[in-house]
Structure 1
C-alpha cells in the first residue's frame, strides 16, 4: 500500500483520486509508528485530498464518521506510549476537517460542537509532551493539538459561554510541564490563541485579563517553589509564550502593551 500512496502523492494537482479501500486504509493507519507512512504519505494525502476536493462524498463520510465515532485524539491517553501518534495525527486531521468545514459545511451542528469541545479538552488531558521521537518521527502532541485548538476557536461557528475553559488549556499544560519544550511548542500554542482573537471569538479584553492574572499566578508558584526546577521551567515557558504573542499581536496595541509590561518585569527580575 505504501507504493500506492507514494504514487498518489506524485500525481499532479487535479489528478488526485482515491479508492474507498485506500481511504479506509489511511484512517486505519493514521497513527502508524512508521513515520514515512504516517507523516509523509497519509497526512500529506489527507491535506491534499481535501484541498483539491479529491475525496468523493462517500469517502468524506467515511472519514467524518470514523473521526466522530472514535475520537481517537483520546485513545489510551494514559496508556501505551505509541498511541501518542494516533492522538497527535488525529488532532491534525481534525484541523484539516474544521478548516474545510469553515468553507463548505461537513458537519451537523451537534457534530461540530463535539469537535470544538474535543479540541479544547484534548490539550487539557494530553500527558505526552515529546516532540521528535527517534525512529518513529514526530509525536509533537502539544503542537498538533494547538493546531486543532486554533482551527476550533477560529471557526466561524465557534462560540462559548465559558471563555476560561479555553484559557485553562494553558494552565493544564503548564501544570504538567516538568522539562522545557524544545520543538517550538510555545509558538504553536501562541498562534492558536491569536487565531481565536483574530476571529473575534476571544476578545482582546479577555486575553489581556488572562495575561495579567496568569502572570501573577505563575510568579507566585515560582516564588513558593523555592528553587524547584519544574516551577522555573513553567515560568520560562510562559515567558517564551508571551514573547511569541508580543510579535504575533503586533497589530493589537492594547495586547502588546500588556505583554510588554510583563516581559520587562520578567527580564528585570531575572537579570538585574
Structure 2
C-alpha cells in the first residue's frame, strides 16, 4: 500500500473516533424519540423523505456535537480516565481541524433541513444553539443534563413542523402552530435524557469531583439512584399518557411496558453505583427508546 493511502486511512480512523462512529448508542438515543414524534405527527405516514432527513440529520448532528464537545472539554477530558485518549484531548487531532470537521457535518445536516419547510428550518437554528451551549453548561449549572435534555429533545418539535407543513418564518406563529402534544413529548423526553445522562455522569463522578465539573450525579449525591428512577417514572408515565391522548392503543402500551421493564433492569444495574454497570445502563438505553418507537409504529400501522 502506498504511504499516502496509509496516511489517509489513518486520518479517516481518527475522524471516525472523533465522531464516536463505533458507538452508535449516542445517535440512537436522539433518533428514536424523534422518529416516534414523526410517526405520531404524520399519523403513521411520515414518508421516506422525512424519515431519511431526520435519520441522516440526527447522525450528522450528533457527530458534529461530538466534535464541539471534545474541543470545549479538552482540558477537562485529559483528567478523566474514560476520555483521556480522545483525539483532540490527546493531541492527535488539532483543535482547528476538529472544528472544521464538526462544521462540515453541521452544514450537511442543515442542507438536509433545507429540503423541509420554513418552520423546521427556523427551529434548527435554536437546536444548534442549544447543542453548542451544552458543553459549557457543566461549568455553570448544577444539572447540565437538563440542557442536554433540551438539545436531545429538539428533534421532536422539528418532526412535528416538518410533518404538519407550514410556510411562516415568524417565531410566534411557529410556536402557536405546534400542537400541545408536541411540547408535551418534548418535556417528557427531557426526563428520559436526565435519567440516562445521570447514569452516564455516575460513571465519571470521582473524576468530575476532582476537576470541578458540575453534573446531576454530583448534585443528587446519595439520591442519584432515586433521582434516575424518578426521571424514568416521569418520562414513562407522561409519554404513555400523551400517547393515549392521541389515540394510541394496545401495541403502543406493549412498547411502553417493554420500556418500563428495561427501566427496572437499569435500576438493578445502577443500584450499587459500580462504574461498569452504570455505563452499561447508559449504553443500553437506546433499546428502551426503540421499544417506545416500535410500539408506536406498530400501533399506527394496525389502526
After TM superposition, the score normalised by the length of structure 1 is 0.34
After TM superposition, the score normalised by the length of structure 2 is 0.32
Considering fraction of residues, name the structure with more helix: 2
The one of the two structures with greater contact order (alpha-carbon pairs below 8 A, sep at least 6) is 2
